Amino acid sequence: MGITKLADLIRGDAPGSITYKEIGDYTGKIIALDTSIIVNQFRSAVPNLTLSLLGVFYRTLTFLEHDIKPVFVFDGDPPEQKRAVLEKRAQSAGWSSSQRSHTVSSKTREVLRLLQLLGVPCVQAPGDAEAFCAQLVRSGAVDAVASEDMDTLAFGGTVLLRQLNAKRVSEVTEYSLPKLLEILQLTQKEFVDLCILLGCDYCDKIAGLGPSRALKLIQQHRTIEDVMLNINRKTHPVPVGWQYQAARRLFLDSPGSEPPPLQWSEPNEKELVNFLCQEKHLREEKVTKDGDGGVRQNLSPQEEGERGEKKGRRQTDESGRILSCDTEKTVCRSRRIHRQKATED
DNA sequence: ACTCTGTGTCAAGACGAT
DNA sequence: ATAATTGACACAGAGT
DNA sequence: ATCGTCC
């Protein structure tokens, strides 16, 4: 998946394009996320499907706590090349494609519902979500793309964030595409050719060519066509009917859809509580909002009915926060600590 | 000798309490 | 009762 | 820091 060996190559040959940050450094930033990547992460980490939904909930809360504005991008119709790959995967997993699409769509519907209740914008990509994320950051509609998938760089995403999660101590890795191109002395077009040689989702690669040689070859000959003329065709045979040109177009051509208007709204407390605890039977019943002045404490955690929301409606037009009761405690604590520090300084 | 590639295994998320 | 992807790391084998 | 729990 993705450009598998690109991360290693960058770490080895262009470490200068990497900076290490923490989540707090992105306060106030707009960040696009590939929803399918996130959901897959949670689904593989926890056995239960509902728990993965909870993971999305918590992670989004963490973003909002840091005043990060997330934009969730959903996959549209996958391009032909990837469709073939997906079908092959589904078959090898022993799933009929109708079964797969059904479970997938019901799952994404739930995620979509949750995110809409949280008041974060969800946009539908015309094609691959990664490609649209890249376009969003390239056009300046968002400040960065958070993804584990290095495809974003091949699609021209200028700022890529990895390991942007809710861990207590998390080291975020930021990749800068302009710096990367400068260090490697490549144009974007040449970089795309390099990624194709490394191996991508959209076409085959030349067997026997790994990161090191691919980089040297591209730096020397600049295009796949010229590389092909300068390698040993016997030891490194080119795949028959190689679709590298289609892959190249896929990376270089913009999806073409205009960035939609992004709007963050107040979370819908009532429906959120409904959805999470009544429909999903989660214990995160108590959901409350935290304006910047009135911090409410002492929400008794065990109320008999599931209507734990107090009616202290405090409208904060921009940065409303929604927190589970338990989470609120910790945030209140950290806030008090923060304020004490601020007043002591 | 050294470098690179392909193959295998393994662990994974976020929370609160201890 | 439960399922089943993806990257990171260690190793062995082939190429230069 | 490590561990049990989340449904």
CB atoms within 10 A of CB A198: 23
What is the distance of C-alpha A135 from the center of its chain? 14
pLDDT in tens, A277-310: 777 777 655 554 443 322 232 222 223 333 333 3
Burial class (CB in 10 A: 0-12, 13-18, 19+), A35: buried
Give the closest residue to C3 (Cα–C1′). Answer: A47
Give chain B positions with protein CB within 7 A: 3-6, 12-16
Q: Are A32 and A146 in contact (CB under 8 A)?
A: yes
Tell which residue, A237, A235, A198, A200, has the closest CA to residue A218: A198
**Strand D contact set, beta carbon < 7 A:** A 46, 48, 50-51, 54, 280-284
Q: How far is the CA of A5 from the C1' of C12 (A)?
A: 19
Query: Would strands A144-146 and A159-162 be described as parallel, antiparallel, or unpaired?
Result: parallel
Check if residue A61 sits with its Cβ under 7 angstroms from strand B. yes
pLDDT of residue A123: 94
Tell which residue, A280, A254, A241, A2, has the closest CA to residue A125: A254
Q: How far is the CA of A318 from the C1' of B4 (A)?
A: 53
Mean predicted lDDT score pLDDT of chain A = 78
pLDDT in tens, A47-65: 888 889 989 988 998 999 8
Give chain C positions with protein CB within 7 A: 2-8, 15-16
pLDDT of residue A96: 58
Q: Which of residues 119-148 of A touch strand C (CB under 7 A)?
A: 148
pLDDT of residue A237: 85
Check if residue A173 sits with its Cβ under 7 angstroms from strand C. no
Structure tokens at A345: 């300084």
pLDDT of residue A63: 92
Domains for chain A: give ranges and CATH numbers. 6-82+102-181 (3.40.50.1010), 187-231+247-252 (1.10.150.20), 284-344 (no CATH)
